[in-house]
Amino acid sequence: MTETPSGALPVPYVPGMSGLSIMARGGYATVYRAMQDSVGREVAIKVENRRLESDRDQARFLREARAAGRMSSHPHVVDLFDVGVTVDQHPYLIMELCDGSYLDRMRRSPLGAAETRDLGVKIADALVHSHKNGVLHRDVKPANILYSEFNTAVLADFGLAVLGEMRDSSVTLEVLTPAYAPPEMFRHDEPSGAVDVYALCATLYAVMKGRPPRWDGDRSPSLLTLMDLFHQPIPDLPGVPPALTQVLRWGMDNDPSRRPTAQQLRELLTSVQLNPPINYVPPPRPSSSDDTPTIRNPRSAKTPKKKWPFGGLLGSQDR
């Protein structure tokens, strides 16, 4: 019998599953590879490290299970097969098995502009589906976008998701992934779809750069330093068309009301031309309040909607 490492949970018993082996371990959960005996397929089992001993823990698990269940019909959201609780009160989710994450990929070799644009379109479409169903993900990042032999991109881990009937804005700083969280998350503002848009744009920038935007190292800075980083410009990336970088900048605006919605982001990314003319110069972003584009805030139905000043960003027909 294999001895359990110090501080690690023993391999759990999950009905109908055999051959559990650890794939990944984090602060909140352990992911196992296993065989689903009834149908003879390999799956991933995410087991919470903590027991469901408090109402908060139970609500968090229920929130993730419901969010993942609602979303799993989308082709770019990881499939959820079943959920349950072990005999010692550790909740688990049984999901499709993927080969790796885009965090792994960007660490090996940053993505090119074309692959990144296509990745963004797929995950933005998943967010459109998510937001229409009243689900906010709140933890979009390279580690939560997975790939497999049959699907190049699926959004996973709805652990911080907010459902329409559970408008919980309480997310501790320990749970956040600071590199991909917008400034309003640190202020504990009421969550909106703009949070996911920011995180996706930061993710797309990161997979091309090899590290998160504005970050110089792998270690998380202090909260004070982090808040200062939001005021630093987001530079162009070598070999990346300015049109794509500009769309990502808009999505990472510090003001959530100025960001595109997930649907608008999907359309912007789809329309970006990756081979602009040599003399192409992207138009400057409007600086005056009268010309600044306003995106409808999901929390307010009264916000007027203006046209985006795409200029020459979307192709020759706009030139």
Q: Is 211 a catalytic residue?
A: no
Which residues on adjacent β-strands are paired with residue 115? none
Backbone dihedral region for residue 199 (phi beyond 0: left; psi -120 to 50: alpha; all else: beta): alpha
Backbone dihedral region for residue 7 (phi beyond 0: left; psi -120 to 50: alpha; all else: beta): left
Question: Which of the following is catalytic: 60, 117, 138, 266?
Answer: 138
Give catalytic residues, as residue numbers. 138
